[in-house]
Amino acid sequence: MHATTPINVDKLAWELQRHPDRYFVNSLINGLRKGFFTGVSSLPEKVLECKNLLLFSLSTTKCPDDVSGLVKSELDNNFVIGPFTKALFDIYRVSPVGIVEGKYSKKKRLILDLSSPHNSDEHSSVNDLINKEDFSLSYIKIDDAIKIIKEYGFASRCCKLDVSNAFKLIPIHPSLWHLYGFKWEKICITFTLD
């Protein structure tokens, strides 16, 4: 098995051939072809299977048909591999899966709680294994756009872009797949895209 993405990597590489930051371009293309490392600093030495989420507004127990449909969609879109009747790895993580509903769209989304287990002395969560200094995420805010508009002046033009399933387009390196598993209806499934 190898990392995959729906992005046409050859076309992207061609489009970026004159980009001035060759290190960035090479890292991007290599990551899209082989998978990205997610910043996990130490690998777990024990198997951990967390139970599915009950805390969210739409839990897996309240909406099992919705979860099954979302899991099927993830499989159909090749965002995950599976299903498997048993784990593919000797040491692995099963994180809780749940669903949340979009605030405005009311669209239901499948989520994987990589912060589980919460408050455990015995096991660290996948998120706990990632260095926050080196791998932080921040979203662009309206204030950021306002600052740029002020910088470029009155006649400046702006464009907003939202990439559907953006994180799911980014493949995870196969050496880390064992950390991104979940179970649904007693079937093992592994995320291969972040």
Residues 6 or more apart whose Cβ sits within 8 Å of residue 56: 98, 99, 100, 111
Amino acid in position 184 = W
The predicted-structure confidence for 148-180, as pLDDT tens digits, reads as follows 888 888 888 878 777 777 788 889 999 999 999
Extents of the domains making up the chain = 9-191
Distance CA 193, CA 7 (A): 12
Share of the chain above pLDDT 70, in %: 94
* Cα 131 to Cα 139: distance, rounded to the nearest angstrom: 18
pLDDT at 8: 95
Q: In this predicted structure, what is the pLDDT of residue 55? A: 58
Our CA dihedral for 173, 187, 110, 132, rounded to 10 degrees, sits at: -40
Which pLDDT tens digit goes with each residue over 80-130? 888 888 888 899 888 888 888 888 888 888 888 888 888 787 788 888 889
Predicted confidence band at 192 (pLDDT cuts at 50, 70, 90)? low
What's the confidence (pLDDT) of residue 11? 97
What average pLDDT score do residues 51-64 get? 69
Which is higher by pLDDT, 57 or 181?
A: 181
Q: Which of 30-34, 40-44, 57-61, 105-109 is predicted least confidently? A: 57-61
For residue 58, what pLDDT is reported?
Answer: 57
